[in-house]
Structure 1
């Protein structure tokens, strides 16, 4: 069955709801609004401009920008012109940018909202056509507005082959080199339509865009979700204005990665300690008011569809939010299947699982309990990597690399990444994820990373939460020591953690220790601290402050 593609759906709502708000972007504190009709003029004119440069079928065009209105308009213009989009992470290094542009054979690049544009643009070859977004101009680039003004909008609804290449998505990667995942229009349409079929109550919504649009989850839920339902999307201006922009938007659909949920919890507890919150929630007359107040201040006062994904979330955190009336639906997928695999629904959610498969998804467990899935949303393969692509499939099933278990009702639990397992000198495998999740659930722990390949014993590196930073060091040390001892009593002898090291430097996207979706980059963390492991293992104290 063929589903309408993103261009066809855009043209539908451009025609039927021309005056409805489509995109709202804060620029220096003032919201810039674009209706479906206004966006349509810009998208169609830019598509005409791309064609005038001679670009067409199979030509790759990159997008390098933080989330903004023109990111989505550029993506739609690329599709309308019949080209292939190559979305890039806005915090990419110049060297990595150059590698991807060369590997993808991109012919042009849209450059927009960036923290350090001059440094990143060093990675753009001089021969590449550069088009800059209007709110973030650069004198060395062709201005978006100039091209829009000088080209008549394309007319009609462009016909796109559903099985032609729509985009190449380069994975952020927790280890190793990025790979270019190829997806067709059919795969993307199938994924978003399967999602909407599973959540038929999602109609005309308010979306909030802040996770990188080049990430498949944000692109499918926010960009495609908006276009396929004729909804409205609001953008964040910056990290500093996140809370303000979210509170202003009050979205009806909201997606956050686990680290964001942890940060939002820390913000609540900073203003209202857990003991006080527990006390107030037990008072019937006050409980409802407290829940409503917290939801509104978080910016979730109107949110009916709340999701998490991209990395595992601790069930205790889900339960904490549930007590506030915020039911977070954990979902599971990957770049290679357009994020279409499993999802929890709020009325039947099982915390600790990633839910049940979509009706269109087949799932099985392979060797080492590897989760394998099959659906029309699976990738064509990795760009220019036929052998690697073939290795990812077995009998048509995509091999996810995740270890899991499935209960009698079909709920899937992810127990870790197979490639993250390692052996210490004791000769037995350790799976880090369950330990990291347990430690990360503690109010004093920010993030945790278990290491120890080939060492006499494993140890755990961690960062402190904001709450812990406000507590005397001796108290933190004692609490973490109790936490580590408690965890070790639940582990097999070969799994037990010899030390916990509190890292002085925060792990961030900027220093390369977190991915753009705030997952730990295990390989980078291991490399950064490896030379200190022998000293830490010899130390007398169990809790070590770097």
Structure 2
């Protein structure tokens, strides 16, 4: 597969050599609007020309939008104009948007597909605003009118490897978001590494649904799509997600653990676990059942399935293996441009996050913290020089904040996160991640957060799944207690979970208890509920209900 020196080099090559190939497929009212490479090239150049009449080369230009065709076109236009992109999570409230716009010193913003722009609009500071009318966004400038009024920019910006390309704000699991600065060569190195290690075809089919604001989707899907001359389809809505994914059948699929858990739950709703196991043992039905499930999930053509952002339990990975879907757990973060550790299809060690990718050096600090070094590491945190210095060792390794260990073959295992660990009143530290992964295997549990600050033993805060909510109360409680007993068999004495607490309010992005990438905001949950831990812990019941 051909290698390129920058995203714009790659895109320009595909636009010149395969102009009629479809690049972007945007569903509107259940029909896909298709944009060829030539159409995207013209529209992005027209927008780049328009941008240069509104902002200056080198200025920061934000993108506020859910995943859609115009996210890609906006990003390309910003690069073509020689500007620096500032992606903003589409689920942020007005205050969060304003904070990022002001901190990043953004000079203009492109606004695309959103669920409730009227609530977010007050957060946009007094800067030029471009709205995409296709998604109902009417703003100071219209995307459609600007491309109609402007000719394609003739001399697009020539990207150099060392120049700043984007500032990506972290999703804020442990505090306020930080602006991670990445240069052009970080993404080029990442995608060229993929070319070296994967036997992927050109012109692949992708399905984009995780926030493009997040490094996993930006580095793992948008950039490879541009470099590989791929076709990218989008979901129209959460309600149509399953239907859209099944219609696309992408060649590669990345999911966070909650997605994989949801998929499994949906399969078990149609075919209960015992029935599925029975059917898979019948030779004539085995292949048919596997094919039907994979097709319904949208994974019948996928040659590489990955999971990241948080630990995925080995039990779930093995369940998917049973239905013919291999999930490769991978590890990376915004700061290392996800050039870190991956499991590969032919060397997938379940439970680990794989080995270092080519060009990556990793080691453990004396405290067990995972340290990473490569040429794709961030330039630093924007306007936070002191925090940048704190994030690196004296010899240039990035401090990940994750605790891990290597096996004798060099596979990395994540055993916890230093900022997630807590100390019980016995003075013992507990890493909740592995415990949560094991409890989440119970299909009655949608989400779980292990806590224990100020009490003798950990307790599990639980959000019930849809199937859990429908269960008989006694059956539900027995199921959760059995899961805790099973977990405690292998847990160290100070890690043994005392009981579960069924929470009233679900944790979501909207109420600020989850990040846009569906990770629990542990600190926020602690702030709200910690005062109740002693009362819940001392309750005589094994399963307590939040009142």
TM range (shorter): over 0.9
* Number of the residue aligned with 1:37: 38
Spell out the pairing of 1:282-297 with structure 2 (5 A cutoff): 282-297=281-296
Deviation, structure 1 residue 280: 0.6
Deviation, structure 1 residue 348: 1.4
Q: Is the 8 A contact 1:248 1:299 kept in 2?
A: yes
* Number of the residue aligned with 1:53: 54
Alignment pair present for 1:187 and 2:186: yes
Spell out the pairing of 1:242-257 with structure 2 (5 A cutoff): 242-257=241-256
* Number of the residue aligned with 2:460: 460
Q: Is the 8 A contact 1:3 1:186 kept in 2?
A: no
Partner of 2:166, secondary structure, is strand
Q: Deviations over 1:320-357 (max 9, x none)?
A: 00111100111110000111101111121011011111
* Number of the residue aligned with 1:225: 224
TM-score, normalised with respect to structure 1 = 0.97
Spell out the pairing of 1:65-464 with structure 2 (5 A cutoff): 65-125=65-125, 127-156=126-155, 158-394=157-393, 395-464=395-464
Deviation, structure 1 residue 156: 4.7
Aligned length in residues: 543
Q: Is the 8 A contact 2:454 2:534 kept in 1?
A: no
Q: Is the 8 A contact 2:311 2:434 kept in 1?
A: no
Gaps of 5+ in 2: none
Residues 425, 220 of structure 1: CA spacing in aligned structure 2 closer, same or farther, 3 A cutoff? same
* Number of the residue aligned with 2:10: 9
Q: Is the 8 A contact 2:47 2:77 kept in 1?
A: yes
Q: Deviations over 1:29-55 (max 9, x none)?
A: 121110000001110011111112242
Q: Is the 8 A contact 1:196 1:202 kept in 2?
A: no
CA distance in structure 2 between the partners assigned to 1:500 and 1:249 by the alignment: 40
Q: Is the 8 A contact 2:207 2:250 kept in 1?
A: yes
Q: Is the 8 A contact 2:481 2:499 kept in 1?
A: no
Q: Deviations over 1:33-86 (max 9, x none)?
A: 1000000111001111111224202x1000000000000000010011000000
Deviation, structure 1 residue 528: 2.2
Deviation, structure 1 residue 252: 1.1
Q: Is the 8 A contact 1:11 1:157 kept in 2?
A: no
* Number of the residue aligned with 1:469: 469
CA distance in structure 2 between the partners assigned to 1:146 and 1:230 by the alignment: 28
CA distance in structure 2 between the partners assigned to 1:427 and 1:235 by the alignment: 49
Q: Deviations over 1:225-267 (max 9, x none)?
A: 1100001000011110000100111111111111000000000
Q: Deviations over 1:3-33 (max 9, x none)?
A: 5111111100000000000000101212111
Q: Is the 8 A contact 1:354 1:413 kept in 2?
A: yes
Return 188-197 or 16-25, whichever deviates more: 188-197
CA distance in structure 1 between the partners assigned to 2:301 and 2:43 by the alignment: 31
Aligned-residue Cα RMSD (Å) equals 1.3
Gaps of 5+ in 1: none
CA distance in structure 1 between the partners assigned to 2:155 and 2:232 by the alignment: 24
CA distance in structure 1 between the partners assigned to 2:486 and 2:355 by the alignment: 32
Residues 150, 298 of structure 1: CA spacing in aligned structure 2 closer, same or farther, 3 A cutoff? same
CA distance in structure 1 between the partners assigned to 2:188 and 2:528 by the alignment: 41
CA distance in structure 2 between the partners assigned to 1:34 and 1:463 by the alignment: 41
Partner of 2:372, secondary structure, is strand
TM-score, normalised with respect to structure 2 = 0.97
CA distance in structure 2 between the partners assigned to 1:487 and 1:423 by the alignment: 19
CA distance in structure 2 between the partners assigned to 1:297 and 1:380 by the alignment: 42
CA distance in structure 1 between the partners assigned to 2:408 and 2:533 by the alignment: 43
CA distance in structure 1 between the partners assigned to 2:140 and 2:322 by the alignment: 51
Q: Deviations over 1:299-327 (max 9, x none)?
A: 11111121111111111101100111100
CA distance in structure 2 between the partners assigned to 1:367 and 1:454 by the alignment: 27
Deviation, structure 1 residue 192: 1.6
Deviation, structure 1 residue 480: 1.1
Q: Is the 8 A contact 1:172 1:515 kept in 2?
A: yes
Q: Is the 8 A contact 1:137 1:143 kept in 2?
A: no
Return 90-99 or 490-499, whichever deviates more: 490-499
CA distance in structure 2 between the partners assigned to 1:296 and 1:493 by the alignment: 44
CA distance in structure 1 between the partners assigned to 2:157 and 2:233 by the alignment: 27
Deviation, structure 1 residue 527: 1.8
CA distance in structure 2 between the partners assigned to 1:543 and 1:345 by the alignment: 40
Deviation, structure 1 residue 157: 5.2
Deviation, structure 1 residue 537: 1.6
Partner of 1:359, secondary structure, is coil
CA distance in structure 1 between the partners assigned to 2:492 and 2:322 by the alignment: 33
Q: Is the 8 A contact 1:61 1:85 kept in 2?
A: yes
